[in-house]
Structure 1
Amino acid sequence: MPLCHLLQFVTSVVSCSPAELKLDNNGKKEKVKGFNVILKDTILFPEGGGQPDDHGTIEDLPVVRVLRQGAEAVHFISSALEEGREVQLKVDWERRFDHMQQHSGQHLITALADKMFGYKTTSWELGRQRSSIELDTASVKPGEMEALEDAVNNRIRDHVPVNVRLLSIDDPDVEKVRSRGLPDDHAGPIRIIDIEGIDTNMCCGTHVSNLSHLQVIKILGTEKGKKNKTNLIFIAGNRVLKYAEKSYNTEKLLTSLLKTGPDEHVDAVDKLQKTVKRLQKSNLTILRDMAVLIAQNFKSQPARGDFFSLHNKDGDNEFMNIIANEIGFQDTIIFLTVGEEKGAGLFLLAGPENVITELGPRVVELLQGKGAGKNGRFQGKANSLAKRAEVEALLQKHSCRRAAGEE
């Protein structure tokens, strides 16, 4: 059985020490306390060579990170293990096999892109959903990626074996192997991945034992990369099946929503977007006219007072500024908000400059937002409009004090 297919393994704990690890939790980095464990030997691949690490368990304790330190693999777990204790490792096979397919797929694409078009690979990334290969070319010619995709899938259908060899660092064969160089802390023999008749490459990662295990490779396209490079985007194996399933489910939903067949989806969405733009333009015109009418209505009231407040769900900054300018805020305190009634939104506070300078920071605090202002106008974003009534009460109280001549 190839080592990459070894799913369980019994070994012993060499060391276990307290540690902290930064983990990504829905896009946010958070520190987690646990233990770094070094084992006598391991079947869990440590992160490196463009490939993420394996996950699995040590005695049913989840291994959430495996990092390489020199010749050692360091396993991060939540609980301590006694040094010298015999333990059982298990590999998360679904994650392992996915990485094997993507990594071997990268080797195959890299080799044929070089042989067919002379495009060298300068780096690659194994992503969570799709992978990318950085090619040393500013652009690719029309038809080349289609030809490359045909070529790699032909090799998959040919059932080409993939073999692993270990060479000593002074072996003459090392010079014949494709490589981007060894890490500074490399130790031990050099591992060679040999795709028979196609590619021989220095690599530490996990790979399939036959190209047929890749099932299929789909080149999704290319993107402009950094420094005159081109990024080739691809998926291999089970990811292609998942991509097809997801695309089909999306297609079914769009068919239901748009009431058109899949071939007409693009035209239907294009028509919808144009209709929405026209409606948005009309809506903006209506809002502007409404703002003028609102201001004129307030000004026409004989007993209007010197405080005006309004909330409009569909307004924007221009809507609020039109109202403030039309009313005039030299002698009137104006408080305007737009957005969800108790959610996030925008606000504008206008009035005599000394009043706004005093009350602006307090209004921002109540609305849990941020803003700035000058010349009697203070506006910004509100994270919550739930305390809008409290702001109104504060401003009305201040307005009454001004009317009574207390200021």
Structure 2
Amino acid sequence: MATTAAPVLSLSAPSSGSTCPPDYAHVSFPLPNKRYVGMLKCQLDPLATTLDTEVVRCDKVKPQPAPAAAPTKGKKAAAAPASTTDSKDEYEVELLDSVLFPEGGGQPSDTGALVALVDGQSGEHLRVSVRQVVRRNLDAVHYVDAPLEVGTRVRVEVDMARRIDHQDQHTGQHLLSAIFEREHGLDTLSWSLQRFPELNYVELPRAPTPQELVAVQQRCTDLIGEARPVRVRCELATEGSGVALGDKVPDDYKCDESGEQRPPVQRTVTIEGIDENPCCGTHYPSLAYLRTLYLAPFTTPIRGTNARVYFASGAQRTLAYLATQQAPAREAALAAGCALPDLPAKVDALVQGVAEAKRREKKLAGELAGFVARDLWERAQQGREGEGAGAGARASTLREDDATNSLEFLASVAAELKPRIDAAAPSSSLFVLACGATAGSPTAAAAGGAVLIVGTEALVVEAGKRVVDTFGRERVKGGGKGRWQGKVTGRWENGDALLLRRIVDEL
């Protein structure tokens, strides 16, 4: 492995925008000319915004969608896959070093740009976008939208708004998990960094109590206020060093098949006096950079006794998330006609009122079904006059009803008719019940309806067939023997009630 003659902590190439303290990264080995994952500029100096370096490989590839991220265990989570580029061509670029972080440890990759340099000056016409950086074995591979010749000096620029958000969440997650583990005995089983500005979550073996959530929130706030230092220790995992990789390190975190001897780097992130954990992500040199950590007062059960606890770190995401909650809450309060603090009580009263209205509606619908059934039966009896004792009871009805549960009402009518039909046996009986939006309904264009046929089995089957044949299979679909029920698409037209009556009369 080729190495530089520089001191152990010497960082490659000039960079700008960094205020990282010189003791942030402790590297226990000489740095090679070509840096690889575990010792990249972004991992040794997370506040650096640019880096001047050199292209060592550029290959044209066919753009492919990023693979779905697999679930991970421990204090890592899979990053959300990046979207593909719209360009027909895409290129893989490797550099001597990079200030762009490749996805890993639950942290998505950085995005940014590579700007070709001429005599140390940037040429904007040679600027290419970096949509994603991935780790391939130990190498950081940049996906760009235009080629760069090998040997070209480039300035690597980071999309700092994206980096800051990811760094906020990842550093905040380490702090949050440490407090849950140290002070409440709750290990973090997994975590997930969600899309901006949604809340992230950690998965714990049980749901913390409300009191524990308040205590953890306060403890994190205190430690941020103390500006606890965060440091990184980098060690080569070799037999000679006695350093072993953690059991949660990916299997492909090793040298490629080229035979070049490049031992992987074991990277440990330490929050002074609070936490020490292996991690490849970028982390602030101090908790003070977080400014705030918001811990949601609710949890979600998952996988038995486990629970998800939701959080947001840093002013950028926390304020954006609270804004997304404040706006709809304010609109809801205005619609409810109350002040925002009174909204929960108002919503509770509205919910109770709706529940009570539904109970009253159900009771009245039951009473109405009884009246409709009695009216149908009386009409059927009138139709039997002069036809003899063996004549069957037959009638139909079409009711206008915009409700989506119209079949439920028809079933109530059928239930009221059944004792009368049974008592009239062996006389044959047939009742065709239909309801739904009619041509005059304001929701007629979108609403549907229902048909329910009850009575003697042979008549029910035949009536069902005739309903489908008369109205068409595109309008009515259904089936059944002793009870035939069907769904109606669209509205009932004027004259459809007469068609139902004709079917009953013909049978």
Q: Give the TM-score normalised by structure 2.
A: 0.62
Q: Deviations over 1:154-199 (max 9, x none)?
A: 2211222333343211375846x9x552110003323332323332
Does the C-alpha gap of structure 1 residues 288 and 45 become closer, same or farther in structure 2, counting only changes over 3 Å? farther
Q: Which moved more, 1:109-118 or 1:359-368?
A: 359-368
Q: Give the match's secondary structure for 2:62.
A: strand
Query: How far apart in 2 are the matches of 1:161 and 1:141?
Result: 29
Asked if structure 2 preserves the Cα contact closer than 8 Å seen for 1:36 and 1:75, the reply is: no
Give 1:23 deviation, angstroms. 9.4
Q: Which moved more, 1:261-270 or 1:229-238?
A: 261-270
Does the C-alpha gap of structure 1 residues 402 and 148 become closer, same or farther in structure 2, counting only changes over 3 Å? closer
Q: Deviations over 1:60-102 (max 9, x none)?
A: 6683x6554433456667xx64474868765443332211111
Query: 2:104 pairs with 48, 51, 58, which one?
Result: 48
Give 1:344 deviation, angstroms. 5.2
Q: Deviations over 1:31-66 (max 9, x none)?
A: 998666421135444433223344456756683x65
Give 1:152 deviation, angstroms. 1.6
AA aligned opposite 1:164 = V
Does the C-alpha gap of structure 1 residues 331 and 252 become closer, same or farther in structure 2, counting only changes over 3 Å? closer
Query: How far apart in 1 are the matches of 2:402 and 2:414?
Result: 17
Asked if structure 2 preserves the Cα contact closer than 8 Å seen for 1:360 and 1:378, the reply is: no
Asked if structure 1 preserves the Cα contact closer than 8 Å seen for 2:237 and 2:265, the reply is: yes
Q: How does 1:156-171 map to 2 (within 5 A)?
A: 156-170=224-238
Percent of residue pairs identical: 22
Query: 2:281 pairs with 198, 205, 218, which one?
Result: 205
Give 1:361 deviation, angstroms. 10
More strand by share: 1
Query: 1:153 pairs with 208, 213, 221, which one?
Result: 221
Query: How far apart in 2 are the matches of 1:403 and 1:251?
Result: 58
Q: Tell me whether 1:342 sits opposite 2:445 in the alignment.
A: yes
Residue 386 of structure 1 is matched in structure 2 by 490
Give 1:210 deviation, angstroms. 2.2
Q: Tell me whether 1:192 sits opposite 2:236 in the alignment.
A: no
Q: Tell me whether 1:321 sits opposite 2:429 in the alignment.
A: no
Query: 1:353 pairs with 433, 458, 461, which one?
Result: 461
Aligned residues: 388
Residue 39 of structure 1 is matched in structure 2 by 93
More helix by share: 1
C-alpha RMSD over aligned residues: 4.3
Residue 240 of structure 1 is matched in structure 2 by 318
Q: Give the TM-score normalised by structure 1.
A: 0.75
Q: How does 1:2-401 map to 2 (within 5 A)?
A: 3=42, 4-7=46-49, 12=55, 14-21=58-65, 37-41=91-95, 43-56=99-112, 63=131, 66-73=133-140, 81-82=146-147, 84=149, 91-128=158-195, 129-135=198-204, 137-140=205-208, 143-170=211-238, 172=241, 174=243, 181-187=248-254, 188-221=264-297, 222-226=299-303, 228-237=305-314, 238-297=316-375, 308-314=397-403, 316=405, 317-324=407-414, 330-337=429-436, 340-343=443-446, 345=448, 347-350=450-453, 352-356=460-464, 366=474, 373-379=480-486, 385-386=489-490, 388-389=492-493, 400=502
Asked if structure 2 preserves the Cα contact closer than 8 Å seen for 1:130 and 1:235, the reply is: yes
AA aligned opposite 1:157 = G
Larger Rg: 2
Asked if structure 1 preserves the Cα contact closer than 8 Å seen for 2:436 and 2:447, the reply is: no
Asked if structure 2 preserves the Cα contact closer than 8 Å seen for 1:255 and 1:262, the reply is: yes
Q: Give the match's secondary structure for 2:178.
A: helix
Asked if structure 2 preserves the Cα contact closer than 8 Å seen for 1:287 and 1:315, the reply is: no
Query: How far apart in 2 are the matches of 1:362 and 1:84?
Result: 74
Asked if structure 2 preserves the Cα contact closer than 8 Å seen for 1:49 and 1:204, the reply is: yes
Q: Give the match's secondary structure for 2:65.
A: strand
Q: Which moved more, 1:315-324 or 1:291-300?
A: 291-300
Unaligned runs of 5+ residues in structure 2 are 1-17, 21-41, 69-82, 115-126, 255-263, 384-392, 422-427, 455-459
Give 1:403 deviation, angstroms. 5.4
Does the C-alpha gap of structure 1 residues 192 and 315 become closer, same or farther in structure 2, counting only changes over 3 Å? closer
Asked if structure 1 preserves the Cα contact closer than 8 Å seen for 2:336 and 2:346, the reply is: yes
Asked if structure 1 preserves the Cα contact closer than 8 Å seen for 2:206 and 2:307, the reply is: yes
Asked if structure 1 preserves the Cα contact closer than 8 Å seen for 2:230 and 2:272, the reply is: yes
Q: Which moved more, 1:164-173 or 1:296-305?
A: 296-305
Q: Deviations over 1:378-405 (max 9, x none)?
A: 245x6xx436449x86x97687578568
